[in-house]
């Protein structure tokens, strides 16, 4: 399961929902030096509920000091994956002028023992200097500030300008520091209604926000008081209801329950499958699951058509997916010298696929040896990664290729990012694929499909599947997204994973 993506997306959604949140302003007494304008801070707390269980808290802090605004959103959650508990911490700090002009940002994500820190400054020309630190690996880059994108204070000011009149709609670009990108948010002001806040019923204005990314969208419903303070946000994340509710500091920091969200995503076919590894193709009829208390037919299942997978939508809301793995022939050489945009992009170094790193380049050369054939090289890299990662467990958050190269441990995501990075390092276009895959046993259950990550590699003119974690890509793999392993790809599965069942399976030998 792509754990880091899940957490990052949840944090971005929360940030967009509480950008206008504020409490009574109090003077902050402990600044080291006096400012020309007295420093003031606002702080409020929220409890996070998943599936009815309190699993964490959020803290929103806004400080005005000498004409500059610093806003920090902090989120702490405890989750469990099949018995392995993990504490997740994420914070995003925005530095802006009092008028909402971006000055810089800082993002820190910690999953287990893995930490990713990103710091950026925005100059007068709109250039952003970013430093990313993952473990001992430090990378610097320069990018353009997304045109028109706002951070927390800019969003706060915009919401006050637009007001809370029912029927008001507007669109805004929200900068997500942890993703280094801007996400489009469509906002609609609804009616005022009575809302339960942990047993206290309060009249609040409903605000619906649709956050969009290239691969999908997430809808949140927030409830705001007349002073623009968000009191409650409700969303569905991978089929699980998540609520963020304003509360006292004492309750927010109180003991949490632990939610095991991975077990929920294990899918059982109508009957155990046989001959999956050798099947020529497998056709799956997938039907949306009606969530308790929600109207039927609302889930939208997203499955892309690929070189290995065809998709047919049903009028019932279901989807028929046929997986037919390509069997490529030898004879194609690397490095890739074509001009296909997707292939060229799949050769570049990214935050998690550092194919330009010395260690990664060295491992890649060791893996392929003197092979010049693309297919043979990819097979060698697949086998090399499977053997290279010694400790195979669920304790790692979502490590980058450099981190995996150093630790030599992880689950399917770590196998996938290292495989993609090694392929790119020698000039073979490769992507990280996420979806579900069939295994004979997992988490104490027999014959199930579970969330999984693997790769696809360009061989000639076709993208071919590879799976270093399971040792073989076959028709038991259902693709949901493919890309460079970045967090925004998670939007492509957030409204589908956990929201469907496998109604029928037909295996063609």
How is residue 30 written in tokens?
């402990």
- The span from the CA of 496 to the CA of 218, in Å, is 11
Q: Is 292 exposed, middle or buried (0-12, 13-18, 19+ CB in 10 A)?
A: exposed
Whether residue 206 contacts residue 187, with contact meaning beta carbons closer than 8 Å, is answered with: no
Q: Is 183 exposed, middle or buried (0-12, 13-18, 19+ CB in 10 A)?
A: buried
Whether residue 38 contacts residue 46, with contact meaning beta carbons closer than 8 Å, is answered with: no
- The span from the CA of 117 to the CA of 18, in Å, is 22
Output the CA angle 401-450-221, nearest 5 degrees.
90
- The domain of 412 spans 265-509
- Cis previous bond, 243, omega within 30: no
Whether residue 234 contacts residue 241, with contact meaning beta carbons closer than 8 Å, is answered with: yes
**What pLDDT sits at residue 70?**
95
Output the CA angle 391-467-474, nearest 5 degrees.
135
Question: For 318, how many CA atoms within 13 A lie in the half-sphere containing its CB?
Answer: 12
- Are both 255 and 290 inside the same structural domain? no
**What pLDDT sits at residue 297?**
47
Whether residue 245 contacts residue 47, with contact meaning beta carbons closer than 8 Å, is answered with: yes
- The span from the CA of 324 to the CA of 322, in Å, is 6
How is residue 446 written in tokens?
């027999």
- The span from the CA of 120 to the CA of 143, in Å, is 10
Bridge partners (DSSP) listed for residue 506 = 283
DSSP 295: -
- Are both 92 and 103 inside the same structural domain? yes
- Are both 323 and 216 inside the same structural domain? no
- Are both 346 and 244 inside the same structural domain? no
Contacts with 208 (C-beta within 8 Å, 6 or more apart), sequence order: 187, 188, 190, 219, 220, 221, 222
DSSP 152: H
Among residues 213, 245, 262, the one where a domain terminates is 262
Among residues 210, 240, 262, the one where a domain terminates is 262
- Are both 242 and 350 inside the same structural domain? no
- The span from the CA of 481 to the CA of 1, in Å, is 13
- Are both 85 and 216 inside the same structural domain? yes
DSSP 255: P
Q: What is this structure's pTM?
A: 0.78
Q: Is 74 exposed, middle or buried (0-12, 13-18, 19+ CB in 10 A)?
A: middle
DSSP 488: G
Domain count, the chain: 2
**What pLDDT sits at residue 455?**
97
3-state secondary structure of 158: helix
- Are both 257 and 139 inside the same structural domain? yes
- Are both 185 and 151 inside the same structural domain? yes
Q: What is the CATH number of the domain that holds 506?
A: 3.10.620.30
Bridge partners (DSSP) listed for residue 152 = none
3-state secondary structure of 4: helix
- Are both 200 and 292 inside the same structural domain? no
Contacts with 504 (C-beta within 8 Å, 6 or more apart), sequence order: 270, 284, 285
- The span from the CA of 394 to the CA of 83, in Å, is 10
How is residue 435 written in tokens?
């979806």
Among residues 227, 262, 297, the one where a domain terminates is 262
Per-residue pLDDT of the chain (509 residues; tens, 9 = 90+): 444 445 545 555 544 444 433 333 333 333 333 333 445 778 999 999 987 889 899 999 999 998 899 999 998 887 766 566 677 888 999 999 999 999 999 999 887 666 778 999 999 999 999 998 876 778 788 999 999 999 999 999 999 999 999 999 999 999 988 788 888 999 999 999 999 999 899 999 999 998 887 777 788 899 999 988 889 999 877 677 889 999 999 999 998 887 666 666 788 999 999 999 999 999 999 998 865 555 444 557 889 999 999 999 998 889 999 999 998 888 999 999 999 999 999 999 988 899 999 999 999 999 999 999 999 999 999 999 999 998 766 555 567 898 889 888 888 889 999 999 999 999 999 999 999 999 988 767 889 998 889 999 999 999 999 999 999 999 999 999 999 887 666 666 776 777 889 999 999 99
Whether residue 429 contacts residue 336, with contact meaning beta carbons closer than 8 Å, is answered with: yes
Euclidean distance between the first and the last CA atom of the chain, given in angstroms as a whole number:
29
Residue tagged 């400054």 (tokens): 121
- The span from the CA of 24 to the CA of 13, in Å, is 24
Q: Tally Cβ neighbours within 10 Å of residue 254.
A: 12
Whether residue 487 contacts residue 178, with contact meaning beta carbons closer than 8 Å, is answered with: yes
- Are both 322 and 253 inside the same structural domain? no
- The span from the CA of 487 to the CA of 409, in Å, is 21
Residue 263, CA distances (Å) to 415, 442, 470, 502 in order = 21, 10, 19, 16
Whether residue 185 contacts residue 173, with contact meaning beta carbons closer than 8 Å, is answered with: yes
3-state secondary structure of 35: coil
- Are both 212 and 327 inside the same structural domain? no
Output the CA angle 452-456-457, nearest 5 degrees.
155
**What pLDDT sits at residue 260?**
66
- Are both 160 and 197 inside the same structural domain? yes
Whether residue 497 contacts residue 365, with contact meaning beta carbons closer than 8 Å, is answered with: no
How is residue 351 written in tokens?
């935050």
**What pLDDT sits at residue 31?**
33
């Amino acid at each position: 399961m792509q754990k880091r993506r899940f957490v990052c997306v949840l944090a971005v959604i929360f940030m967009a929902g509480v950008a206008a949140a504020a409490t009574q302003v109090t003077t902050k007494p402990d600044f080291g030096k006096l400012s020309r304008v007295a420093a003031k801070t606002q702080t409020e707390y929220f409890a996070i509920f998943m599936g009815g269980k309190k699993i964490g808290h959020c803290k929103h802090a806004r400080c005005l000091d000498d004409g500059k605004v610093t806003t920090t959103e902090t989120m702490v959650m405890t989750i469990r994956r099949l018995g392995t508990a993990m504490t997740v911490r994420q914070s995003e700090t925005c530095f802006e002028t009092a008028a909402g002009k971006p000055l810089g940002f800082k993002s820190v994500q910690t999953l287990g023992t893995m930490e990713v820190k990103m710091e950026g400054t925005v100059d007068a020309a709109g250039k952003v200097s970013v430093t990313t630190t993952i473990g001992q690996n430090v990378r610097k880059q320069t990018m353009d500030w997304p045109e028109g994108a706002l951070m927390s204070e800019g969003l706060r000011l915009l919401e006050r300008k637009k007001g809370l009149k029912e029927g008001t709609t507007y669109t805004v670009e929200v900068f997500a520091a942890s993703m280094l990108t801007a996400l489009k948010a469509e906002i609609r002001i609804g009616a005022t209604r009575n809302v339960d806040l942990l047993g206290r019923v309060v009249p609040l204005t409903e605000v619906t926000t649709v956050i969009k990314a290239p691969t999908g969208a997430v809808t949140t419903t927030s409830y705001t008081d007349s002073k623009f303070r968000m009191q409650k946000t409700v969303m569905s994340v991978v089929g699980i209801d998540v609520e963020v509710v304003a509360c006292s500091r004492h309750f927010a920091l109180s003991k949490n329950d632990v939610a095991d969200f991975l077990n929920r995503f294990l899918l059982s076919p109508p009957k155990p499958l046989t001959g999956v590894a050798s099947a020529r193709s497998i056709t799956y009829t997938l039907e949306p699951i009606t969530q308790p208390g929600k109207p039927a037919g609302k889930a939208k299942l997203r499955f892309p058509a690929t070189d290995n997978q065809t998709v047919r939508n049903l009028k019932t809301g279901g989807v028929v997916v046929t997986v037919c793995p390509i069997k490529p022939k030898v004879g194609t050489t690397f490095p890739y010298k074509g001009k296909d945009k997707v292939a060229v992009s799949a050769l570049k170094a990214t935050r998690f696929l550092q194919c330009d790193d010395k260690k990664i380049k060295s491992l890649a050369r060791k893996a392929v040896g003197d092979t010049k054939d693309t297919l043979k090289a990819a097979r060698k890299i697949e086998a090399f990664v499977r053997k290279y990662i010694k400790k195979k467990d669920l304790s790692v958050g979502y490590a980058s290729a450099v981190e995996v190269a150093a630790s030599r441990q992880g689950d399917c995501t770590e196998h996938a990012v290292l495989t993609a990075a090694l392929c790119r390092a020698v000039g073979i276009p490769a992507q990280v694929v996420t979806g579900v895959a069939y295994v004979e046993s997992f988490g104490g259950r027999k014959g199930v499909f579970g969330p999984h990550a693997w790769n696809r590699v360009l061989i000639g003119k076709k993208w071919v599947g590879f799976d270093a974690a399971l040792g073989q890509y076959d028709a038991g793999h259902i693709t949901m997204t493919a890309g460079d392993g970045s967090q925004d790809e998670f939007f492509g599965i957030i409204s589908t994973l956990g929201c469907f069942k496998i109604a029928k399976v037909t295996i063609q030998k």
